[in-house]
Structure 1
């Protein structure tokens, strides 16, 4: 992941006075998804959204609630998970544009990669940028990166890349965005053949055997609404069994970013430091209520499972307790 700040120079930058509300964006995205049917030829809008100064001084209570939900220790420093939450509505606003070719409903979150280069604290007035780039082929459709950056005093503090899959679409000719950037040429895991929302391991990989767990999470059905309240992400698949069943799930599923953020919290601020890289690859969804085993270990001791991961730092895996159903894997690497 590059450390440079700013959208590609060819992009038009549209400025917002404040970060938009996710609730209204979801409603717009749901309505607009109907017209965005799978087709060939995906061209991304060459536009970036920008909020020049976000007042975080009023977010102390929300940050404290977020830290309690995901297990982060109380602090005035915004973790990478909370920075994602802060920037996610602006990235969603890009996805619900009329000229964004992929429908918001059914988008599968495959991977999250973030880099924190300096601490962002309550009281800072960060600038937030978001745009979409790097549409590329996947055997099930089209992958696209949603990029979010947070700058403090004009200096890049955080860069997050959320990789999504839109099934049934295909690229042809110029895919839009900027080719050759993060993730280009890499094929993400096959999505689950069931309902959209999470992904499943690549069928071509060797069978996976869980390592020795270092923690066990017992997740009640209320964790979806709890994380939804602190993140603003109230997608129906996380809120209730009824909402999840409407999208083909047997019951509500945990937010992928909740599980990733909780794993980041398990690594802890002391071990990751002030500057770190954090990645998560999502596999099978976590059904609620449910139990998840987690293993955190040094990357140097993790073996072939993370051959593509960074040297040094920590590796984590989460899977269904008593099974080999892998939910996610990730890395935390001090910089």
Structure 2
């Protein structure tokens, strides 16, 4: 739910990521650590988002991720639809953290009712809960999808901005990807993904996220990677597809925590197994102990 103190900015349509990334890249130059971080108290809202024209887009997404053909929009596709609005919040001049260099740490998404192709949606997005991390600050970007005024989906994406300071006393940091996580042993795999060098470009085509760290070796090298890396949400959404609609149900919570990035091309082993009332999944570099991601899918 949007915090009560936040104002609402109405947009007439969902923005396109290409222009937002260009704006974010330009704005990142001036956003440097200089005191405690304070977020803009504003949410963006787009009403009447018509999904009737999304059939080809949905089919391309399902084909790429391995989702079965259906008129139900999986959580990964809802993330794709809402992500541009959350990005619009992050590229505001008064959003204090730079878009370039932000590290995607984790996601928690909840599907509270099926969203079907052809339904009209209301999409909302805002930033909240800036807090300390031992390498900087982390912040949550929240995106919601409503149908007929009923909350159908909420996704919370947590990002790390290195070198910044949270307001007040720093909270205990979440584990960063610096080798300090508890020791982990790979379980028996239940699937193996062979990811070609064009995986980032393919997911970029269906998601709109054409960040050069995913689409070109040169772009990736500019940010310290030896070659292009897979989108984190591609790997998480592919794991969600591996679980499948029958096991996750119509209402479910889907979580993911990211560890080491997946360099392209690559082979990733995946294990999906029961845990409590749902399932847990892990993905790691085939033949190695390099863990890429872990998460859960739990029916609600």
> Is TM more than 0.5 here?
yes
Which residue is 1:265 aligned to? Answer: 241
Give the drift of 1:186. Answer: 6.5
Which residue is 2:135 aligned to? Answer: 140
SS at match of 1:285: coil
What does the per-residue CA deviation read over 1:142-191, in whole Å, with 9 as the maximum and x for residues that have no partner? 0000000000000000000000000000012399xxxxxxxxx663221x
Give the drift of 1:247. Answer: 1.2
Which residue is 2:144 aligned to? Answer: 149
CA distance in 2, matches of 1:73, 1:65: 11
Report the count of equivalent residues.
Answer: 300
What does the per-residue CA deviation read over 1:241-261, in whole Å, with 9 as the maximum and x for residues that have no partner? 111111111000000000000
Q: Does the 8 Å contact 1:39/1:168 carry over to 2?
A: no
Which residue is 1:49 aligned to? Answer: 44
Cα RMSD (Å): 1.3
Q: Which of 242, 252, 260 is the aligned partner of 1:284?
A: 260
Q: Which of 270, 274, 298 is the aligned partner of 1:294?
A: 270
- The runs of 5 or more residues in structure 2 that have no matched partner are none
CA distance in 2, matches of 1:28, 1:279: 29
CA distance in 2, matches of 1:37, 1:228: 28
CA distance in 1, matches of 2:102, 2:83: 14
TM-score (norm 2): 0.98
Q: Which of 211, 221, 231 is the aligned partner of 1:245?
A: 221
CA distance in 2, matches of 1:186, 1:315: 26
- The runs of 5 or more residues in structure 1 that have no matched partner are 1-5, 176-184, 191-199, 300-310
Which residue is 1:181 aligned to? Answer: none
What does the per-residue CA deviation read over 1:87-143, in whole Å, with 9 as the maximum and x for residues that have no partner? 000000000000000000000000000000000011001100000000000000000
SS at match of 2:256: strand
**1:324 and 2:289 correspond:** yes
Pairwise mapping of residues 47-196 of structure 1 onto structure 2 (< 5 A)?
A: 47-173=42-168, 187-190=173-176
What does the per-residue CA deviation read over 1:47-103, in whole Å, with 9 as the maximum and x for residues that have no partner? 000001111011110010011111101111100000000000000000000000000
Give the drift of 1:201. Answer: 6.1
TM-score (norm 1): 0.88
Q: Does the 8 Å contact 2:134/2:172 carry over to 1?
A: no
Which protein is richer in strand relative to its size?
2
Which residue is 1:217 aligned to? Answer: 193
Q: Does the 8 Å contact 2:146/2:153 carry over to 1?
A: yes
SS at match of 1:212: coil
CA distance in 1, matches of 2:47, 2:242: 33
Q: Which of 4, 16, 35 is the aligned partner of 1:21?
A: 16
Residues 266 and 67 (structure 1), Cα distance of their counterparts in 2 relative to 1, 3 Å cut: same
CA distance in 2, matches of 1:133, 1:14: 16
Q: Does the 8 Å contact 1:113/1:162 carry over to 2?
A: yes
Question: Where does structure 1 differ by over 4 angstroms across 4 or more consecutive aligned residues?
Answer: none
Q: Which of 227, 230, 239 is the aligned partner of 1:254?
A: 230
Q: Does the 8 Å contact 1:280/1:329 carry over to 2?
A: yes
Q: Which of 9, 28, 33 is the aligned partner of 2:4?
A: 9
SS at match of 1:134: strand
Q: Does the 8 Å contact 2:282/2:294 carry over to 1?
A: yes
